[in-house]
Amino acid sequence: MDESTIDETPGSEDISFTETTPVTGQGRMDAAWGSRDGDELATAQVATNNASVGYVFEQIYRPWNGTLNPRWMRNWSILRHHVLGIFRKGHRPWGWPTKLFMVLVFIASLGDVALTLLSSLIGSPELHSMWGVNRDNLYGHVLGFFPRNVLYYPILAALLVGGMISEDRNHGTSALYFSRPISRFDYLMMKYISVALIQAFVVLFTLMIYYFVEILAMGRGWAWIIDTFPLFIAAFVGGVMLIITYTSIGLGLSSVSKGKFFPGIGLVAIVLGTKTLAILVSNLFERDIMYLLSPYDCLAHVGQALIGTQTTYDQYSWTWSFASIVLMNAFFLYIMSSRVASMEVTRE
């Protein structure tokens, strides 16, 4: 290839490059800036908008004229979704801390059952008098302060109610309920019963085991059963009041929140904080009136009156505590119902 062929640049033809073409500045400029590729035209090319206007989607509502399931079946599906999520997959995905803590609380609540069995095996009347079924132990199994109403029941209720309503509000799950033939009352009632049933499995079911193990292990007769069965019923009623109160407070806080943290911490703070405040006022000013603001102390006072054990609240009647419990439940139920009634059928 001679030198004259290399220096020749075409005038109107396109520049082509092969593997034998040397690298020159002219070639680099042509390749970089697109020379002779329409740049010599002094006109601007403006794209014309010839696209037709369309729709992102077209939503067509088609009526469904099928037969609805009965109301009890729809409510049962909500209840089953929440309760069975504790035991099996395919339902509400409870977190593993909630499941683990529930198992630990259930085992710890059976501590007096194990000691009752031990006292029957070794035949120790002293051990049985401490842990066997009697008036004080039935009260302590449900309404004892430490550790049951400090470490067990309030924390369990806080874990259960944490995201019961607040997650529906945050993730838009409530729209799935309210866009179907499910009333807000049924929605709220099934949520409430779900939390109460899970707590009853720990509080009331262990109480029943405790009482019937005493009958079987000690060989109690009908005379003993007739004497102690009213005490068992009184303790059972106290446990029901405990579950209702904790559930009302927790769900009331969950209905005004959008996360799990505030309802759980708020429930524990109300139960233990009011108890601590009442103790401080009682020790400093020798006045027990602040106990009426404590959910636990009101429940304990009513429970002591029902079971007939020695009362620790002497400055006022147990009826004041009962009235305080009713007002607390009514207040939080009102908050819960008003908030659920204002929930939109959208993600908030």
pLDDT tens column, 232-279 = 999 999 999 999 999 999 999 999 988 889 999 999 999 999 999 999
User: pLDDT of 123-182, one tens digit each?
Assistant: 889 999 999 999 999 999 999 999 999 999 999 999 999 889 988 888 878 878 887 788
- Average the pLDDT over each of 5-14, 191-200, 220-229, 299-308 and give the range with the smallest value: 5-14
Report the distance separating Cα 295 and Cα 300, nearest Å: 9
In a domain, 56, yes or no: no
Whether residue 315 is contained in a domain is answered as: yes
22 and 80 in a single domain? The answer is no
Instruction: Answer whether 325's CB lies under 8 Å from 298's CB.
Output: yes
Q: Which of 111-125, 174-188, 334-348 has the highest mean pLDDT?
A: 111-125
Shared domain for 110 and 258, answered yes or no, is: yes
Q: Is residue 53 part of a domain?
A: no
Cα–Cα distance between 262 and 258 in angstroms, integer?
8
Q: Looking at residue 18, what is its pLDDT?
A: 65
- For residues 17 and 103, state if they share a domain: no
What range does the domain containing 17 cover? 3-33
Task: Please indicate, yes or no, if residue 67 is contained in any of the structural domains.
Answer: no
Domain membership flag for residue 52 = no
Give yes or no: residues 13 and 112 share one domain: no
For residues 142 and 236, membership in a common domain is answered with yes
- 163 in a structural domain: yes
Answer yes or no: is 43 within a domain.
Answer: no
Q: What residue spans of 8-70 are helical by DSSP H?
A: 25-33
Q: Is the pTM of this model over 0.85?
A: no
For residue 335, the number of C-alpha atoms closer than 13 Å in the C-beta half-sphere is 17
Inter-CA distances, 206 with 227, 243, 245, 346, Å: 21, 14, 19, 41
Do the Cβ atoms of 107 and 262 come closer than 8 Å? no
The domain total for the chain is 2
Residues 152 and 282 in one domain: yes
Asked if residue 320 is part of any domain, the answer here is yes
Tell me what the pLDDT averaged over the chain comes to: 86
Same domain, 170 and 255: yes
User: Same domain, yes or no, for 26 and 150?
Assistant: no
Same domain? 107 vs 180: yes
Whether residue 29 is found in the same domain as residue 137 = no
